[in-house]
Amino acid sequence: MAGEGTPAAHPGPAEPAVLLEVSQVPELPVPEPGHEARMYAVVTVTVRRPAVRAAPTAPTAPTAPTDPAVRAVPSAPTDPAVPSAPSAPAARSAAVQGQGPRHAVVFLIDHSSSMVNPPTRMAAARNAAAAAVHAVPDGAYFAVVAGRDRPATVYPEQPGGHRTLAVADDVTRRAAEDALRACHPGGGTAIGSWLGRARELFAGLPGGGADFVRHALLLTDGRNEPGYESRDELAAVVASCTGQFTCDAIGIGDGWDTGELLLITTGLNGTAHAFEETDPTGPLPARLHDLTRQAAERDLTGLRLRLYRSDNAELRSFAQVHPTRRTLRPVEETEFLREFATEPWGDETRSYLLSLSARHTAGAEGAELMLTEVELVRDRAARPPVRLPPSRPVVVRWSGDHGLYSRVHPDVGHFLHQEDLVRYFEEGCAALRAHDPGTARRALGRAWQLAVEVGDGAMREHLEKMVEPRADGEVELHARIRRFDIETARIRTSYTTSHR
């Protein structure tokens, strides 16, 4: 296949390896005069960091016992194309090793009145927050904020109203846990104000935080309440925080709002998660611990994807499609160039779906013409040092051979099917809200078939709580479908599986 990526030149012993691939079928049929053809390609970027010698770390969160009453939505499916994170003893931020940017994290923990009903909810949140605090690596900066209708910085103390963060070590981590457990819940919910406090705290970092990878972890059991903060006000705060830090959001119980969680994580390049039960001994502490550790490991910064288009192509769309679906916004744009920033990287693979309109010119049959060149570039001051791979072309060959132009690259077909899965699922949910069971059954049935085709086992598990698959491939709606099952499936649609 044209445009297939190959590894970059062998990097130095201390440099991460960065790989760039383009997957496509180059043949397209000659369009009718005055018409354009559509070309799809999948751009895949992989980062492999050098091994770091293990060093002592803070205690890890205890493994939660198996509890059939605790139902959790996994952060993402197991994907053989993406290596698992290193074990906790080796999970050290490169900043601690002096290799990369410094790390800062702010924990935003719901302390509104609803957190005491049931009483186990607050205990579960505190246990989870404590586990996350103990995952902050030595030398990183951190703070803990209690979220109500007005945020309160629980740790460290804020003398004179100054916004400051603590430096993590055994003493400050224990002090933060003690302060968190001593904090009392009360008041309402205004999530945007919590994000605003995180932005203020990050701005108080040395140098205004420019040399830091900044991450927030938000946990809530509810939604913004009328009289405290509107959806538009939350959206405005998210927009003001975009590019300032990333944010993962976790909903616990069944009172959280999916739209709010996805508004936050989509705008702030994070991931959304949901836990129905709030057993203090359940899986929530381990999840927050892992999210904190994984964020600290994403220490390769400044990578940008640059697309150059030729005269015979127009960029229609470019979006991240794996491991999460994410809209990309260009940070630089000219007539023939688009440049997209990416969030910090750890050891991981991300895929992007590119859509182009290709214009045919007379006499071009059989020739291979470049539509777009894909290049990885990097901010000059970004760390750690890395050797970048060569650019990759997206090409077209106009053909009259149906056997050639009817092919679809497996990577492209896989992600197009996942986009269809989301579309049918959303159509089915809209039909459920409109009390149209016929349309809901047909749409969710097609979503089920696509989940089977693309191998999305996690989405199948969610759909099985809404529909009953039949032997003939069709489905029947369950007589009772819980709101929680619908909303957690909506969160699941922000994740994808890999064809590889």
Q: Identify the pLDDT of residue 400.
A: 84
pLDDT higher at 459 or 71 = 459
What is residue 99's predicted lDDT score, i.e. its pLDDT?
56
Strongest mean pLDDT among 59-73, 280-294, 432-446: 432-446
Task: Please determine, for residue 199, whether its predicted confidence score (pLDDT) is greater than 70.
Answer: yes
How many Cβ atoms from other residues are within 10 Å of residue 497's Cβ?
22
How sure is the predictor about 405, in pLDDT bands with cuts at 50, 70 and 90? confident
In one-letter notation, the amino acid at residue 302 is: G
Nearest to 401 by CA among 19, 20, 15, 26: 26
Handedness of CA 465, 470, 475, 478 (dihedral sign): negative
- Tens-place pLDDT, residues 323-375: 999 989 899 999 999 999 999 999 999 999 999 999 887 767 777 899 999 99
The answer to whether residue 379 scores a pLDDT higher than 60 is yes
> What's the CA gap between 476 and 482, in Å, rounded?
15
pLDDT at residue 130 in the model: 95
51-98 tens-digit pLDDT: 754 444 444 444 333 332 333 333 333 333 333 333 333 333 444 444
Give Cα separations from 489 to 74, 164, 421, 449, 473 (angstroms): 11, 38, 12, 15, 20
Which has the closest alpha carbon to 102: 93, 111, 113?
93
What is the b/e burial string over 317-352, where b = at least 16 CB atoms within 10 angstroms of the residue's CB? ebebbbbbbbebebeeeeeeebbbbbbbbbbbbbbb
Q: What is the rounded CA–CA span in Å between residue 163 and residue 159?
A: 8
Q: Residue 91: how many CB atoms within 10 A of its CB?
A: 22
496: nearest Cα among 397, 418, 440, 424: 418
> What is the tens place of the pLDDT at every residue in 207-228?
888 889 999 999 999 888 888 9
What's the pLDDT score for residue 94?
41
Tens of pLDDT, residue by residue over 16-35, are: 899 999 999 999 998 887 78
Give 100's pLDDT tier (boundaries 50, 70, 90): low
What is the per-residue pLDDT across 357-367, written as a single tens digit (0 to 9) for each?
998 877 677 77
Between 482 and 89, the more confident residue is: 482
Mean pLDDT over all residues of the chain?
Answer: 86
Q: Which is nearest to 301 in space by CA: 215, 372, 391?
A: 215
The Cα-based distances of 61 to 121, 219, 273, 496 in angstroms read 18, 17, 18, 27
332: Cα separation from own chain's centroid: 22
* Structural tokens at position 387: 């050797």
Between residues 178 and 100, the one the model is more confident about: 178
Mean pLDDT to the nearest integer, 449-471: 95
Give the pair of three-digit tokens for residue 243: 């590019």
Q: Which of 9-23, 73-87, 108-122, 393-407 has the lowest mean pLDDT?
A: 73-87
What pLDDT does residue 191 have? 96
Residue whose structure tokens are 């290193």? 86
Nearest Cα neighbor of 246 from 187, 208, 291, 281 is: 291
